[in-house]
Structure 1
Amino acid sequence: MGGCVSVSSRSTCSSRSNGERISPSCLWIDMFRRKRSRRTFSDHVTTLQHLSSIPSRIFTNGRSSSACIFTQQGRKGINQDAMIVWEDFMAEDVTFCGVFDGHGPYGHLVARKVRDTLPLKLSSFFDSFGSKQNGSGANCCNGNMKSDVADPVKETSTEDRVESLWREAFLKSYKAMDKELRSHPNLDCFCSGSTAVTVIKQGSNLFMGNIGDSRAILGSKDSNDSMVAIQLTVDLKPDLPREAERIKRCKGRVFALQDEPEVQRVWLPFDDAPGLAMARAFGDFCLKEYGVISIPEFSHRVLSDQDKFVVLASDGVWDVLSNEEVVEIVSSAPTRSSAARILVESAAREWKAKYPTSKMDDCAVVCLFLDGKMDSESDYEEQGFSSATLQSNHSGNVVESDDGQNSEPCLQRNFTVRSSEENDQYRRVPIDADVEDAENGGTEDQNWSGLEGVTRVNSLVQLPRFSEERPRP
């Protein structure tokens, strides 16, 4: 995957509230019209403490003005999935969406920490990068443009600069997030971690960054006015050839266990642990020296009028539903507000039908509707919800407190492994090995998942932390 920038009629102009048209070369500067003071560490802590009270930010089952989100706990212990939709993120007409799937004994805490902190880091880095380039072009956003006719060459150059800014912000923020997890005094990320699939919608542009095996897809209409699924991110698992090669170069090992030959895992060079089922993740510091990285895959897509919605979901959904099935379920939901919930319920039914002897994985879904429209509140309440940000839970999940912590710690998930007898019936799944390496200029199969329809846990073995050395007698 990589960035793809195109100039379309939809993305070549924008309108102010008074009807004045501005050129796209000023769009990115609008993000910085309000000068921000330099943030201190105490400001960052204060922001984290007040995140749950931000009206445009939802992170529990519910809806916003343009999206709905829903999560359901599986049967492996505490729900380790987290999700977020943050409208008016940094500026108007900018929305941040993310799904985070934790794994390991403290994966639920890692996922929530990333959910709360990563958007702030992304905003901070984009702000600092953009401010450096805000000099000469700022006047055009104040109405001092010499001409309403923009130079196409300059427009393309500016779009490239915007993409470059977001790319740099994604790379830096992911790196800073992983660094913060490593030094966190109260969160053990040695053999716990989280995936992340994050999307920034800015006007008619989508900027995406992802690590791990959570996925984003686009529901769009083709020339026949039929809904089609377009995969936006690639599941970054160890059975992707380029991921496996990197891990092996770093002395990590990649192989599958005998009782689940479909699931390639990452192992330490000197021990059969921890068996991580993804090639990139936040945390998992026991493997960071052996090829598992937190560098995101970044991509950019310019939206058209044919594009209708974006779905982000954890692998609990993708293990049992195809991209096409997900698009069909969301597009046929009776109300937009119920789309995420119906999708999760559909995935739950598929788990029971396809893997009756296996324990269902956690599922988390974000549905972002690109036209910015949502159902009326009355329609929403008919579906069983009561407000824009629900604190109730429809699946027996433990409800988060305001600080994102959970009142019921549980470490069961790490030990949920299918037995060989259970696995024999469901393990025959073909895997497409003909995947071109995007880093070498090829085009990867957009439907590559690395693992279709296989139930498994993301980390098999817990590694003991070395306690403080005891004094010799």
Structure 2
Amino acid sequence: MGPPSKPTLPFLIINLSGFTSENQSMSIEVIRQWPLKPQIAAVGSCCLVGVVCGGTLYIANLGDSRVVLGKLMKATGETVAAQLSTEHNACIESVRQELHSAHPDDSQIVVLKHNVWRVKGLIQISRSIGDVYLKKAEYNRAPLYARFRLREPFKNPILSSDPSVSVHELQPHDQFIIFASDGLWEHLTNQEAVDIVQNHPRSGSAKRLIKVALQSAAKKREMRYSDLKRIDRGVRRHFHDDITVVVLYLDSSLLSRASSIRTPNISVKGAGVSLPPNTLAPGPA
């Protein structure tokens, strides 16, 4: 049995004015609960954050959630998908290369296990919130359960908590943005998700995406959707990953007004990225 499955915390944040350091908040909590609940060191989460400031969308991502934009093509009238986020999953070759570069002396930093690439043979994601047993060596020991511990000690953190930050200047032809955990993207392509939202505007789009994904999961298991829904949620994790979806519709007139408003500055920093201060303006709700 591997580490606990990773929940995902996808947030849509408008007018964000402050950030909380994982190293401060999580470490204090782990230190406090470690003696009684050592497994807390093996608990972690993906996190996806979107910030709209003055007509600009900032995205910070940790883990394998994804942001996809629905963009209207005036020439054809079609709405096409454009992925805006960077994912941190060992199944992606560039992520494996990044891990090898960061750990040149560790030939087992990425292991192919049961046809799935995993960091140290344990976990698929290379960046997360939490998972301190793979970030701080002092938690990779008893009383943490042996099945979570690495056999050999490590000096440098194996996982990172630095987000990948990307920027997109919102345009009048940008229709909507889908924020979703990997549980959705396991069953739908970017374009399939955009088509579903486009064909069912504003009327429960997020719920419809989840339903289509669950129907696909049921089909792969050769069972009916209604039977899958009757399975207890805890047990259902053996049939499909957790799915969280937020769909944000964009109003071009509001974006235009937001970009012209002068407000206090904000700077955004992520893994290897430091963006200059930008105007923080009210975004569309």
Q: TM-score, normalised by structure 1?
A: 0.40
Pick from 326, 334, 346: which aligns with 2:212?
346
Judged with a 3 Å threshold, the aligned counterparts in structure 2 of structure 1 residues 337 and 86 are, in CA distance, closer, same or farther, namely farther
Partner residue in 2 for 1:317: 184
Identity %: 27
The answer on whether the counterparts of 1:182 and 1:189 sit within 8 Å (CA) in structure 2 is no
Q: CA deviation at 1:238?
A: 1.6
Q: CA deviation at 1:241?
A: 3.6
The answer on whether the counterparts of 2:9 and 2:45 sit within 8 Å (CA) in structure 1 is no
For 1:362 and 1:232, the matched residues in 2 are separated by 21
Partner residue in 2 for 1:300: 167
Residues 160-213 of structure 1, C-alpha deviations (whole Å, 9 max, x = no match) = xxxxxxxxxxxxx5xx12442122134854211111111101232111111110
Residues 407-448 of structure 1, C-alpha deviations (whole Å, 9 max, x = no match) = xxxxxxxxxxxxxxxxxxxxxxxxxxxxxxxx9xxxxxxxxx
Q: CA deviation at 1:312?
A: 0.5
Q: CA deviation at 1:124?
A: 2.4
Judged with a 3 Å threshold, the aligned counterparts in structure 2 of structure 1 residues 210 and 78 are, in CA distance, closer, same or farther, namely closer
Pick from 74, 77, 86: which aligns with 1:225?
77
For 1:264 and 1:204, the matched residues in 2 are separated by 38
For 1:198 and 1:346, the matched residues in 2 are separated by 24
The answer on whether the counterparts of 1:247 and 1:290 sit within 8 Å (CA) in structure 2 is no
Residues 293-325 of structure 1, C-alpha deviations (whole Å, 9 max, x = no match) = 011111111011110100010111000100000
Partner residue in 2 for 1:291: 158
Judged with a 3 Å threshold, the aligned counterparts in structure 2 of structure 1 residues 208 and 372 are, in CA distance, closer, same or farther, namely same
What is the aligned length? 206
For 2:163 and 2:6, the matched residues in 1 are separated by 24
The answer on whether the counterparts of 2:71 and 2:79 sit within 8 Å (CA) in structure 1 is yes
Judged with a 3 Å threshold, the aligned counterparts in structure 2 of structure 1 residues 236 and 363 are, in CA distance, closer, same or farther, namely same
* Secondary structure class of the residue paired with 2:251: coil
Judged with a 3 Å threshold, the aligned counterparts in structure 2 of structure 1 residues 359 and 186 are, in CA distance, closer, same or farther, namely same
Q: CA deviation at 1:216?
A: 0.5
The answer on whether the counterparts of 1:178 and 1:282 sit within 8 Å (CA) in structure 2 is no
For 1:286 and 1:303, the matched residues in 2 are separated by 39
Pick from 17, 28, 32: which aligns with 1:183?
28
- Greater Rg over alpha carbons, structure: 1
Alignment of 1:411-450 (within 5 A): none
Judged with a 3 Å threshold, the aligned counterparts in structure 2 of structure 1 residues 242 and 368 are, in CA distance, closer, same or farther, namely same
Q: Which amino acid aligns with 1:217?
A: V
Partner residue in 1 for 2:230: none
Q: Which runs of 5+ in 2 are unaligned?
A: 136-155, 224-237, 254-271, 273-285
Q: Note the aligned Cα RMSD (angstroms).
A: 2.7
* Secondary structure class of the residue paired with 1:336: coil
Q: Which amino acid aligns with 1:369?
A: Y
Residues 124-174 of structure 1, C-alpha deviations (whole Å, 9 max, x = no match) = 25xxxxxxxxxxxxxxxxxxxxxxxxxxxxxxxxxxxxxxxxxxxxxxx5x
Partner residue in 1 for 2:54: 203
Judged with a 3 Å threshold, the aligned counterparts in structure 2 of structure 1 residues 178 and 332 are, in CA distance, closer, same or farther, namely farther
Q: CA deviation at 1:242?
A: 4.0
Partner residue in 1 for 2:117: 264
Judged with a 3 Å threshold, the aligned counterparts in structure 2 of structure 1 residues 78 and 319 are, in CA distance, closer, same or farther, namely closer
For 2:92 and 2:6, the matched residues in 1 are separated by 27
The answer on whether the counterparts of 1:320 and 1:351 sit within 8 Å (CA) in structure 2 is yes
For 1:344 and 1:329, the matched residues in 2 are separated by 11
* Secondary structure class of the residue paired with 2:168: strand
For 2:127 and 2:8, the matched residues in 1 are separated by 17
For 2:5 and 2:160, the matched residues in 1 are separated by 26
Judged with a 3 Å threshold, the aligned counterparts in structure 2 of structure 1 residues 247 and 79 are, in CA distance, closer, same or farther, namely closer
Alignment of 1:238-253 (within 5 A): 238-248=90-100, 249-250=102-103, 251=106, 253=109
Judged with a 3 Å threshold, the aligned counterparts in structure 2 of structure 1 residues 350 and 265 are, in CA distance, closer, same or farther, namely same
For 1:350 and 1:244, the matched residues in 2 are separated by 29
Partner residue in 2 for 1:255: 111
Judged with a 3 Å threshold, the aligned counterparts in structure 2 of structure 1 residues 200 and 79 are, in CA distance, closer, same or farther, namely same
Q: Which amino acid aligns with 1:211?
A: L
Q: Which amino acid aligns with 1:359?
A: F
Judged with a 3 Å threshold, the aligned counterparts in structure 2 of structure 1 residues 341 and 78 are, in CA distance, closer, same or farther, namely farther
For 1:241 and 1:80, the matched residues in 2 are separated by 23
* Secondary structure class of the residue paired with 1:366: strand
Instruction: Say yes or no: does 1:326 pair with 2:193.
Output: yes
Partner residue in 1 for 2:124: 277
* Secondary structure class of the residue paired with 2:132: coil
Instruction: Say yes or no: does 1:366 pair with 2:246.
Output: yes
Q: Which runs of 5+ in 1 are unaligned?
A: 1-76, 91-122, 126-172, 374-438, 440-473
The answer on whether the counterparts of 1:220 and 1:309 sit within 8 Å (CA) in structure 2 is yes
The answer on whether the counterparts of 1:320 and 1:347 sit within 8 Å (CA) in structure 2 is yes
